[in-house]
Amino acid sequence: MWRTAAAVRALARRPVWYGSRAAMASPSTPSNGPTPPSPAAAVAGAVAGAAAGAAAAEVATRVLPVRVTVTRSTLDAFDAAPADAASAAALQEAAETLRRGQTVAFPTETVYGLGADALSADATRRIFEAKCRPSDNPLIVHVASLAMVDGFATVPDAARPVLARFWPGPLTLLLPKRLGVVPDTVTCGLPTVAVRMPAHPVARYLIQLADTPIAAPSANLSGRPSPTTARHVAEDLSGRVPIILDGGAAQVGVESTVVDLLQNPPVLLRPGGVTYEQLRPLLPTLRVYRKDFVSAALEAQPTTPGMKYRHYSPEARVILLEPAATATNSKAPALDEAADRLRAAVLTELAALRAGTEPFAIVRTHARHAATLPDLVPWQGIEHAHSVAPPRGIDYVLGDVADPAAVAQGLFAALRDLDAAGVRAIVVEGISDAHEGLAVMNRLRKAASVVRTV
């Protein structure tokens, strides 16, 4: 039952000619809908719906460790150099690979990205093929400088103070695109292009070296949790991408925040690494999509934040225990009360799972319940999981609600590693929607087959 990483890779790579787009996701499978499909089914559905309509040809994948040392990083200037000869050679080769119109997976501070030359229709089409991404879901364009943005998009005055404060960093802005520069493969024919300047030294150095804007979605097979390590990328994309640059674990752990400043009032479309609380002083009228309002039109779209496609789904079914809204953002006694209700709900789930036969995990986010759950085996990392007999129940301490940034950082790794360990059901203690918790809960709601308000 505990699968090896190689077996997971084989599963992800298996050529699939069956299945349908409907198997992957549709508006009829909302976040609390039926059990999500397995990665193989996701590949099947995605391949059927992908741009090319066929799996990409198999390539040899190399994972190359890289380090970059930065001496100056501002919005306008980036002075950096590879930390050693091997990093220099790997980055040079990666930049040339991008310039030749091929794909490269690389680290960013949020999650790993699967990059290609944003100005080439052929190159960006390869991203959709490698990920099995539906062709109507547009990509984010990554830049190393503001001058690079000017080549393909215009920056409205309202965006300038926001960029000055949060770039480089985990914030993506929708900008009006210049006509005829960025191909429709990237923007899916929309009048706007999503742009961000990553803060990760390797990402920014690579883009600067390639000397072209780089389109990059998260480097996972479409529908799977985003990768936060090079190993996660290899699990999904081995044989599908020539180079994976390994720059260590992503610091933020969830994707960038996507903001549409072209609407008045501005809209936070996807919560991410830059929090609502951080944006609010600059954008006092900012509205959070799904929290402050919903729109049937947006829900039906493939773009952020639509539910048209399933996201972040591990193979195991995710049961999300969500603290009732009244319990969030309130004073300490109410938080204690919420934590106690969560504990009771965990014990109820535990009783049900123990009555079954499947391996399962409880993912915990409330340190005040520090004691190990009865009869569960504490999680000791994926390497350990591969080397021992599978326990029936795993106790996975993800972090504490008081430090939502740490919960965000470890979230996708938890979902992926528990999957790789062969777990079939994952019960997750939800956290409050405050700060990074908004992004965490957004991803969990989309990953979950069952959401129980407790």
- Hey, what are 137's tokens? 């879901």
Nearer Cβ to ligand TXA (107/393): 107
218 touches Mg ion (CB under 5 A):
yes
Nearer Cβ to ligand TXA (90/269): 269
The piece of 175-183, 197-205, 213-221, 442-450 that touches Mg ion (CB under 5 A) is: 213-221
Least distance CB 160 / ligand TXA (angstroms): 19
Q: How far apart are CA 194 and CA 301, in angstroms?
A: 15
Binding site for ligand TXA (CB under 6 A): 108, 110-111, 113, 137-140, 170, 172, 174, 187, 190, 192-194, 216-218, 255-256, 258, 303-304
Nearer Cβ to ligand TXA (255/436): 255
Q: Is 312 within 8 Å of 440 (Cβ atoms)?
A: no
- Hey, what are 388's tokens? 């021992």
The piece of 43-51, 192-200, 214-222, 278-286 that touches Mg ion (CB under 5 A) is: 214-222
Nearer Cβ to ligand TXA (97/218): 218
Q: How far apart are CA 127 and CA 151, in angstroms?
A: 22
Question: Token match 């940034």: residue?
Answer: 405
Question: Token match 């947006």: residue?
Answer: 298
**Which H or E run includes 64?**
strand 62-65
Question: CA 99, 104, 106, 112 torsion: positive or negative?
Answer: positive
Q: Is 94 within 8 Å of 103 (Cβ atoms)?
A: no
Nearer Cβ to Mg ion (3/443): 443
The piece of 89-97, 187-195, 215-223, 390-398 that touches Mg ion (CB under 5 A) is: 215-223
The piece of 17-25, 158-166, 216-224, 358-366 that touches Mg ion (CB under 5 A) is: 216-224
Among Mg ion, ligand TXA, none, the one that 194 touches (CB under a kind-dependent 5 to 8 A) is ligand TXA
Least distance CB 127 / ligand TXA (angstroms): 9
Nearer Cβ to ligand TXA (145/328): 145
- Hey, what are 449's tokens? 């087959």
φ, ψ at 90 (rounded to 5°): -65, -40
Nearer Cβ to Mg ion (49/391): 49
Least distance CB 438 / Mg ion (angstroms): 17
Number of residues that bind Mg ion (CB under 5 A): 1
Angle at 364 between CA 423 and CA 247, to 5 degrees: 75
Q: How far apart are CA 406 and CA 390, in angstroms?
A: 27
- Hey, what are 183's tokens? 């191909």
Least distance CB 151 / ligand TXA (angstroms): 17
Nearer Cβ to ligand TXA (113/168): 113
Q: How far apart are CA 446 and CA 28, in angstroms?
A: 13
Q: Is 349 within 8 Å of 414 (Cβ atoms)?
A: no
Least distance CB 218 / ligand TXA (angstroms): 4
**Which H or E run includes 105?**
strand 104-106
φ, ψ at 441 (rounded to 5°): -70, -35
Q: Among all residues, whose Cβ is closest to Mg ion?
A: 218
Least distance CB 76 / Mg ion (angstroms): 29
Q: How far apart are CA 145 and CA 143, in angstroms?
A: 6
Least distance CB 187 / ligand TXA (angstroms): 6
How many CA atoms within 13 Å lie on the side-chain side of 319?
18
Nearer Cβ to ligand TXA (252/362): 252
Least distance CB 226 / Mg ion (angstroms): 5
Least distance CB 138 / Mg ion (angstroms): 11
Among Mg ion, ligand TXA, none, the one that 187 touches (CB under a kind-dependent 5 to 8 A) is ligand TXA
Helix axes 404-420, 437-447, angle to 10 degrees: 30
Query: Where along the sequence are the contacts to Mg ion (CB under 5 A)?
Result: 218
